[in-house]
């Protein structure tokens, strides 16, 4: 299934937290927020997406007027991809990010990461998967499974001593 159960039997989700090129230098603040929300980072990778990789990642938005700007932005510098894990990690991380538009985030969710660090509706700090299916697909995009192991979201996480 798409959860990992810890020793106490609670449901842990894995999801993708992708830090966009606008805030890669503030990664420490973002990771601090992640841990403060009872999520942990289980994989991390700094990388740079090509134009076509960014276009693939955001395929669902290809018909949107902002698609070219989005792909251009996402391939303009380094990103940090993280697999994060915790109770309801998918929704907790998206809530932590706040509304898509950074100006709206400052009004509606002043404690959110986008309110603190976002620039506008495009340069908005991070991406979070919007469902468990998307999380599985997006984790696979950044952390492809190796032979002998299942996809990221179904692998058993055995080394965690903190939860």
As annotated, the active-site residues are: 127
**How many residues are listed for the chain in this entry?**
163
- Non-local (6+) Cβ contacts of 99 within 8 A are 105, 108, 109, 112, 114
- Cβ of residue 7: shortest distance to ligand IDP, in angstroms? 33
Query: According to the annotation, is 25 in a ligand binding site?
Result: no
Q: Which is nearer to ligand IDP, 70 or 96 (CB)?
A: 70
CB 26 within 8 A of CB 117: yes
Query: According to the annotation, is 38 in a ligand binding site?
Result: no
Distance CA 97, CA 143 (A): 22
Identify residues 69-128 at the interface with ligand IDP (CB under 6 A).
70, 100, 121-122, 124, 127
* 3-class secondary structure, 43: strand
Tell me: does residue 131 bind ligand IDP (CB under 6 A): no
Q: Which is nearer to ligand IDP, 10 or 50 (CB)?
A: 50
Tell me: does residue 51 bind ligand IDP (CB under 6 A): no
Distance CA 30, CA 9 (A): 28
- Please name which of 150, 146, 127, 161 lies closest in space to residue 3, comparing C-alpha atoms: 150
- Please name which of 110, 85, 99 lies closest in space to residue 34, comparing C-alpha atoms: 85
Q: Which is nearer to ligand IDP, 103 or 122 (CB)?
A: 122
Query: According to the annotation, is 66 in a ligand binding site?
Result: yes
Binding site for ligand IDP (CB under 6 A): 61, 66, 70, 100, 121-122, 124, 127, 130
Output the known binding site: 20, 66, 94, 100, 114, 124
Output the known binding site for ATP: 20, 66, 94, 100, 114, 124
């Amino acid at each position: 299934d798409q959860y990992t159960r810890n020793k106490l039997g609670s449901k842990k989700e894995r999801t993708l937290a992708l830090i966009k090129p606008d805030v890669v230098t503030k990664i420490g603040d973002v990771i601090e927020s992640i841990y403060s929300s009872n999520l942990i980072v289980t994989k991390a990778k700094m990388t740079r997406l090509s134009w076509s990789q960014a276009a693939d990642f955001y395929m669902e938005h290809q018909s949107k007027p902002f698609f070219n700007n989005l792909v251009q932005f996402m391939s303009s510098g380094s990103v940090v991809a993280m697999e994060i894990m915790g109770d309801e990690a998918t929704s907790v991380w998206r809530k932590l990010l706040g509304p898509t538009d950074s100006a709206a985030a400052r009004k509606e969710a002043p404690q959110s990461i986008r309110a603190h660090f976002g620039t506008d509706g495009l340069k908005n700090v991070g991406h979070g998967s919007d469902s468990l299916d998307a999380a599985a697909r997006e984790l696979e995009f950044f952390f492809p499974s190796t032979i002998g192991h299942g996809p990221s979201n179904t692998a058993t996480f055995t080394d965690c001593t903190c939860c």
